[in-house]
Amino acid sequence: MYQEDKTFTLRFSLEARFPDDYEGDDDHHAWLRAWEARMKPELIKAVFESLRRAPHWTVHTRNRGKSPEDEIEVVLERDFSTSQSYSI
């Protein structure tokens, strides 16, 4: 079977700023826990809900060996092998 692919990257860089007198890790990375517990799951859910509305496409995650804390690969797939129609 012949397969074509294209990669598109949407990268999020998380940054937290603290006052000059901050001693480091005083908050035990609460800002990062908030991202992991609330923001990231809501974002991923919204992405999947949007992509699942696209006709003829399926969407799933793929693990390339990185921790899901660092990377979530979203695969959007369209299968032309079962029909002769190649139109968009």
pLDDT in tens, 49-64: 999 999 999 999 998 8
Alpha-carbon gap, residue 47 to 87, rounded angstroms: 24
What pLDDT band is residue 28 in, cutting at 50, 70 and 90?
confident
Q: Where are the domains of the chain?
A: 31-77
Residue 71 neighbours by CB under 8 Å, 6+ apart: 64
Interatomic CA distance for residues 5 and 55, integer angstroms: 18
pLDDT(85) > 70: no
